[in-house]
Amino acid sequence: MRFAHVVTADAPDPQLVIVDGDAALPVAGLFDGAPHELQPLIDGGAALLERVRDAAADADGWMPLAPLGFASAVRRPPVILAIGLNYAAHSSELGLKADKAPTVFVLWPNSLTAHEATTTWPRSLSESVDYEAELGVIIGEPARDVSEADALSHVWGYTVINDITARDIQFSEAQWSRCKSFDGFTPTGPFVVTADEIDDPQDLHIWAVVDGQTVQDASTGQMIRSVATLVSHLSQSATLLPGTLISTGSPGGAGYSRDPQIFLRDRSTVTVGIDGIGELTTHCRIDG
């Protein structure tokens, strides 16, 4: 199944919908107590997802998707974990070594934003803001000390993430959370697809286009550490709670490493996408 958080002029509070082609169905109207957002749906486990699936099969109330606006596909995760240097080409182009263990940091929840949203930052803070197309992994069943063989059974679904980064701040500080957590620096969506829709998370085309130019074009099969490896590794130190969002790293092609460099400018438009999941567009504005 495919889900999104949408908004309308009459209903500005985000509501969870099922998406099927060009149509959307509000989940909250399917039955008494049906979830209004993604997190309660995930918390309800497999039984609630199956009830939603069954109710949607014969439901009325489908509406056109095109006029709807989007909110962040993931709105209230318990935590956002990000993985750095998970593609050899990206670690090489940044001049950073991929260590024996994954590079892990946390993104702040204020950074979450939506498809077609405008992300704004002050020129005084950074003029070296970069894009990063990434596969987002959403945990379903709590994961603690899980093996790689069992790790994917704990994944609820997948989404698209643009891990926007202020490179000058990244290289001036010892940690990476702040440089990637400006307001609006973590667009997600527009859709979340359930895990059963993705046969192999390591066989997905991932790409990015900035102002009409394709700048990243790769496969998730090029990850140094697979989704299963990452989930297993992260679960060794702490329980991964339902709804946890994991941003799994970016392939090569970052603007910082290009000659000439490509950074997001005032009025830039960047679209990142993953085949089978969706295309996520962000509009950029620089203050000052």
The full set of domain ranges for the chain reads 2-70, 80-287
CATH assignment, 80-287: 3.90.850.10
Which residues, 6 or more positions from 57, have their beta carbon under 8 angstroms from its beta carbon? none
Residue 216, number of CB atoms within 10 A of its CB:
23
Q: Which amino acid is at 128?
A: S
| Burial category of 103 from C-beta neighbours within 10 Å (exposed 0-12, middle 13-18, buried 19 and up) | middle
pTM reported for the whole predicted model: 0.95
Q: What is the pLDDT along the chain (288 residues), one digit of tens a residue?
A: 999 999 988 878 999 999 999 999 999 999 999 999 999 999 999 999 999 999 999 999 999 999 999 999 999 999 999 999 898 865 566 666 666 788 999 999 999 999 999 999 999 999 999 999 999 999 999 999 999 999 999 999 999 999 999 999 999 998 899 999 999 999 999 999 999 999 999 999 999 999 999 999 999 999 999 999 999 999 998 999 999 999 999 999 999 989 899 999 999 999 999 999 999 999 999 998
